[in-house]
Amino acid sequence: MAVPLEIRQVPRPKNTIVKLTGKSWAVIQRIGCEYKNGKNYPKNGPVIGHIINGEYVPKKEISIELRPKNYGDYMLAKNLSNDILKDLTHVYGVEAFRI
């Protein structure tokens, strides 16, 4: 299905394409091309936004804030359970890291 002209004319970042996903128009970043069998094929990247009501809406970035307190909790748990991990490694081998 071809993308309608009014959707293609919506201002959006360069090197992007528009694709219908479900009921909305996704704006997908074009990250380069791949050379196969003597031809160049475009390579698409992640979805960077959507076109909603005739306007480009960028995707919200999820920011993960790592505070020293969180890191301290992680290190404390790791240090306290290190001996258990050694025991599990003796019994289960490499699969102990997945437990």
72-91 pLDDT per residue, tens: 888 888 899 889 888 988 88
Q: Where are the domains of the chain?
A: 5-58, 68-98
Model confidence over 4-59: pLDDT tens digits? Answer: 999 999 999 999 999 998 889 999 999 999 999 999 999 999 999 999 999 999 99
- Specify the DSSP class assigned to residue 15: S
Spatial CA neighbour of 13 closest among 73, 69, 59, 67 = 59
| C-alpha pair distances (Å), 3 with each of 9, 13, 16, 49, 99 | 10, 17, 13, 16, 48
